[in-house]
Structure 1
Amino acid sequence: MEKITAVVVLLILKSGTVSAGWSVTFENPNICAIKGSSVDFRCTYNYTDGETVTKTAWYKGAFKDKIWTRVRLSDFPSYDNRTEYHGDLQHNCSLAIHELQVNDSGYYYFRFDTNKFGQRSKTSVYLSVTGLSAEVHPEQVRAGDKVTLECITQCQSPSIVWFKDGLPLAKPEFRAQAEDSGTYFCAVKGQESLHSDPVALDVQYPPTNVSIDVSHSGSLALGSSVNLTCSSAANPAAENYTWYRRASSSSFLLLVGSGEVLSLQSLEASHTGLYLCQVRNSVGEDNATEVLLTVDRNDINRVILFVGIGLKVVIVVLLPLVVIWAGRKTCKSAVNNKEHSHDYENVSASQENKKFKDKIKDKTVTQKEMYV
């Protein structure tokens, strides 16, 4: 009996010695990593002296038929070409997983076999794979509002960096200005290529840089036309344009139109004055600097003067020609009249001579007619 007891005690002691020499240790049993990155499971294992390690393998916990079981990673097609065993058959059991996916999250176990026994790790490595999500607070921002950028991740307090339109951003909190509109994303420092989806910041502001463009410069002639165009920068876009005219000697503003373009046709002297436009959107309003329009009152007198000068030039040039033409025509008429008069006298004399000769021939001429 005593001999049997001694054998049992020896076996127990021997068994205890073997169990005490076997262990698996994980350097970091809880790992949080960003989607798309790589992770290392740093691991060491020990066994009883004199044994030789023949096989190692990593497993992942999974439910099969509602039973929690350990499945060899090589049995998961999703891990193909993404795992890299850095361990050996001595004491290193480290494993690297690349291009992490969200469904890589879970519990991981290590097992090794010697020429005598097989040992599975009693504990595990828990891997949490998370993405990054960027948010802007508040959602609607106006110029001057305080803006806070938040990068959401399940990992505990990683070092976050921010980018605006692809360029590094100094701080995730600021007072919004118009130029802060753009797209923002966050990333973990050191892994900037693995960033969140971009989020847009749209800063609303009232009209600014309001200006008036005049289609014609300088003094405007009576009866002419001119267009005044009002422009500004605003977000949202300007909704309302109102035009006013101020007489140069008055502070009173007269409403003269609406719309982005003020068109003035058939200008009169009363159109002279200072013009300004007021621009408004849902955030606020602003006015343009006044511009002066001058309609020249002397233009009509200039027209009359030019017409008078033109008539004088016409008269000076044409009058001599008319006089010459009239003179020539008068002379020609006189010559024609003279020629017609001689012909008449010659014809008359010829007729008288003929009658006188006829009388002499007939011997009926009187003595008095002979000496006439």
Structure 2
Amino acid sequence: MHLLGPWLLLLEYLAFSDSSKWAFEHPETLYAWEGACVWIPCTYRALDRDLESFILFHNPEYNKNTSKFDGTRLYESTKDGKVPSEQKRVQFLGDKNKNCTLSIHPVHVNDSGQLGLRMESKTAKWMERIHLNVSVAPRGGSNEAGCCHLDLLDHQVCLHPERAQVLPTVESPWEDCDLPASGCRWEVPLQ
């Protein structure tokens, strides 16, 4: 009878400790417009470190019958590290240790919704969600209104001051970018 108590405590610990194995930092919601390049800064931490597989879903739903997630697969890692040709629009810029940064180019209005980052390590699985809101055109009615043009990784990027987000705890491609030389006349305040 006395042995049952410790076993119940151990089972309770195991049931609730799994959720603390993964920790993420990323914007909750991203805003973009048709045809833009969306850069999704993301870092993660898993207790057993190395990432075995990564799938980016659009509007994922959990299927209780199969015990898996269903949805449009925008990106899926492969064992050999090669990217299938149909996945060229989405790029995983991260690594297997802590970086889950992604880019989508071009992004389309029908990409609006929930992005699901399905992460699997050797001993655990996790689904992280990010909301994506894609408009036909940015505020102001055209893709050029109030725009600051930057050439980032061979892509022309148009930033709007009201839409710019920089997370101080996530490595950002803007850190080494000379914004005034690119014609920008506003500053992005770090929080």
Q: TM-score range by the shorter chain?
A: 0.5 to 0.7
Greater RCO (CA < 8 Å, at least 6 residues apart)? 2
Distance 1:14 1:92, change over 3 A: same
Q: 1:93 aligns with which of 100, 107, 113?
A: 100
Cross-structure match for 1:56: 54
2:17 — aligned with what? 17
CA distance in 2, matches of 1:62, 1:47: 21
**Per-residue displacement from partner, 1:71-117 (whole Å, max 9, x unpaired)?**
32148x9x632111111111111110112222222210111111112
Paired residue secondary structure (2:95): coil
Matches within 5 A, 1:209-288: none
- Cα distance in 1 between the residues matched to 2:50 and 2:137: 45
CA RMSD of aligned residues (A): 3.3
Shift of 1:194: 8.6
Percent of paired sites with the same residue: 22
Q: Deviations over 1:164-216 (max 9, x none)?
A: xxxxxxxxxxxxxxxxxxxxxx4341249799xxxxxxxxxxxxxxxxxxxxx
Q: Identify the residue that residue 126 of structure 1 maps to in structure 2.
A: 131
User: Deviations 1:142-173 (Å, cap 9, x if unpaired)?
Assistant: xxxxxxxx9337xxxxxx8xxxxxxxxxxxxx
Per-residue CA shift, 1:213-258, capped at 9, x if unaligned?
xxxxxxxxxxxxxxxxxxxxxxxxxxxxxxxxxxxxxxxxxxxxxx
Q: Distance in 1 between matches of 2:60 and 2:6?
A: 44
- Inter-CA distance 99–52: structure 2 relative to 1 (3 Å threshold): closer
Counterpart in 2 of 1:72? 73
1:104 to 111, 117, 130: 111
Structure 1 position 113 matched with structure 2 position 97: no
Deviation at 1:15?
3.9
TM-score when scaled to structure 1?
0.32
Q: 1:194 to 1:132 in 2, by over 3 A?
A: farther
- Please name the residue that 1:189 is paired with: 147
Residue 127 of structure 1: CA displacement?
Answer: 1.6
- 1:191 and 1:129 map into 2 onto residues whose CA distance is 19
- Quote the residue 1:291 is aligned against: none
Equivalent residue, structure 2, for 1:235: none
Give the 3-state SS of the residue equivalent to 1:107 in structure 2. strand
1:90 aligned counterpart, secondary structure: coil
Distance 2:60 2:46 in 1: 27
More helix by share: 1
Length-normalised TM-score, structure 2: 0.59
Q: How many residues align?
A: 138
CA contact (8 A) 1:187 1:194 kept: no
Corresponding position of 1:206: none
**The residue matched to 1:84 in structure 2 has which SS?**
strand
Q: 1:189 to 1:106 in 2, by over 3 A?
A: same
Please state how far the C-alpha of 1:14 moved relative to its aligned partner: 3.8
Q: Name the CA distance, whole Å, in 2 between partners of 1:10 and 1:62.
A: 32
Q: Runs of 5+ in structure 2 lacking a partner?
A: 62-68, 77-83, 151-155, 159-191
Cα distance change on mapping 1:132 and 1:52 into 2, 3 Å: closer
State the distance in 2 between where 1:6 and 1:62 align.
38
Asked which structure has the greater CA Rg, the reply is 1
SS of alignment partner, residue 151 of structure 1: coil
8 Å Cα contact 2:93/2:101 also seen in 1: yes
